[in-house]
Structure 1
Amino acid sequence: MKDRERKPYLVEFPVIGEPSVGFISIAEKAGVLPFDCKRVFWIYNTPESILRGRHAHYATEQIIIAVTGRILVTTELASGEIQVFVLESPQSGVYVPPNVWHTMQYSSNAIQLVLASTAFEEADYIRDYAMFKQVWN
């Protein structure tokens, strides 16, 4: 499937365990990850009034997970199609393919974990919305 045709979707991680001892979820290429993970980062202590993200990537694929709290993830394709995902559980995440504009808004106690397909490279980011629309339309 070409990058332009890929859309964000919810990823469900396996849940192993029981309430009496706790749970573990696993993200592996052989399982639910659609890419080899090259970078992991997390975001925390973000005020509820802040809207983060506001960018797209030329090449990077990501899975965004709410380890704790609630994260509202809004994605937009170059065609204008918008999807909104509410993450409130560490057993699911949003797959964000390249060429998708995305923003995140957090509850006060949210911790976001991101699995990325590439190492950080500033040249991979499209941070200007008008440029995003121009590049992918």
Structure 2
Amino acid sequence: MLNHMDRVKMIEFKDMGDERGQLVIVEGGMDIPFEIKRAFYMYGSDATVVRGQHANRRTEFVLINVAGSSKVKVLDGAGNETIFCLNRPNTGIYLPNMVWKEMYDFSADSVLLVLASEHYDDTEYIRNYEDYIKEIRNFSD
């Protein structure tokens, strides 16, 4: 069985700051393990909101809290779960395809930047956790 959780990892980006302030550079195919085809960000979510709650058949993501903080729960459908705290603008989390993700516990000033390997395609999203568990079992066989 292919373990997608083994591929989930934190990424630290180079912080090129000096006396003028901080500068973080993030390049697709270099700092990010894929070419970036889509970027979007979330803000204005409070601590009670849960975002995500889906898996993707093809898309890989890197999530970076460029301001504030949030948590990301990652599940693999086989009972394994990891929680990451994104609270530094020079770190991110790489999420491969076929992992379940939930973003939550947003600080009031949170801006969560998401970089994606694919253009948006609603048909590759799995939005029901029970369906995800069934599909991940078939995906891994």
Output the TM-score relative to the length of structure 1.
0.92
Root-mean-square deviation over aligned CA pairs = 1.5
Contact 1:6/1:97 (8 A) holds in 2? no
Q: Percent identity?
A: 31
Preserved contact between residue 62 and residue 117 of structure 1 (Cα < 8 Å)? yes
CA distance in 1, matches of 2:118, 2:30: 19
SS at match of 2:7: coil
Instruction: Work out whether residues 58 and 97 of structure 2, in 8 Å CA contact, stay in contact via their aligned partners in 1.
Output: yes
More strand by percentage = 1
TM-score between both structures, scaled by the size of structure 2: 0.90
Aligned to 1:68: 67
Q: State the match for 1:102 in structure 2.
A: 101
Answer yes or no: is the 8 Å Cα contact 2:12–2:91 preserved in 1: yes
For the 8 Å contact 1:64–1:94, the answer to whether it is kept is yes
Preserved contact between residue 7 and residue 77 of structure 1 (Cα < 8 Å): no
Cα distance in 1 between the residues matched to 2:45 and 2:5: 32
Partner of 2:55: 56
Count of matched residue pairs: 135
In structure 1, the partner of 2:27 is 28
Unaligned runs of 5+ in 2: none
Q: Which of structure 1's runs of 4+ aligned residues deviate more than 4 A?
A: 2-6
